[in-house]
Amino acid sequence: MRNFFEDLWEQLPDDLAPPELVRRRDFLLRSGITPGERVLDLGCGAGDFTELLASAGADVIGADVAESALARARARHPELPFELVPLDAPLPFEDCTFALVWASEVIEHVADTARWLSEVRRVLVPGGRLLLTTPAHGRAAIALRGVERYSEPLGDHLHLYTRRSLRGLLADFGFSDLEVRSSGGLPPLRRMLLASATR
């Protein structure tokens, strides 16, 4: 799987804009970033959100499973710290390290979601926040467009989430103060889920 992500990042054009950038940026900034708080940008890719968090005053580190993504992030943002994290092992951070974990367009790519969420909880401080975004896969959208549009046989999306399934998953892993809302497009055909939760 690591080779898949390495190849993917090597093939992506350098000037590729992150999908739904404005919507994701606004969600992150509206969540309230406290200057100086420790933040993990988990699945940072090219580091655009890591830079945004740093600009908002966060003490941020970007992390990704693909060295090719991190090479791009370091070239774009040489002043920021980036770290390679293992694909199928614990995150290389101490317990209770971060006040906020930002994971945007990541959870749908994770093979072992249980391990991943357990690690996110472990590295969050008590009362720390998880903010994540993921594509929305409501019944109406799948009925109209077909599941193939959202889960291509050779694609990298391993899981499809609805508001209900994402809320239930986060609750099952002990997160509280859950808010999961859909965004982008007409109500039955929303494209994105925006979720916030507290450890």
* pLDDT band for position 3 (cuts 50, 70, 90): confident
Walk me through the domains of the chain, giving residue ranges and CATH numbers.
2-198 (3.40.50.150)
Percentage with pLDDT > 70 across the chain: 87
Residue 132 three-state SS? strand
Query: What would the mean pLDDT of 99-111 be, rounded to a whole number?
Result: 94
* pLDDT band for position 145 (cuts 50, 70, 90): low
Q: What is the distance between the alpha carbons of residues 62 and 179, in angstroms, rounded to a whole number?
A: 24
Q: What is the pTM of this model?
A: 0.87
Cα–Cα nearest to 33, from 20, 51, 21: 51
Strands (E), 43-141: 59-64, 82-84, 98-104, 124-135
Identify the pLDDT of residue 2: 65
Identify the pLDDT of residue 157: 61
- Indicate if the pLDDT at residue 153 is higher than 60: no
Whether 77 and 61 have beta carbons less than 8 Å apart is answered as: no
Sheet holding 82-84, edge to edge: 82-84, 59-64, 38-42, 98-104, 124-135, 192-198, 176-183
Q: What is the distance between the alpha carbons of residues 114 and 121, in angstroms, rounded to a whole number?
A: 11
- Indicate if the pLDDT at residue 44 is higher than 60: yes
Identify the pLDDT of residue 136: 84
- Indicate if the pLDDT at residue 183 is higher than 90: no
Dihedral Cα 45, 197, 30, 112, nearest 10 deg: 10
pLDDT digits (tens, 9 = 90+) for 60-71: 999 999 999 999
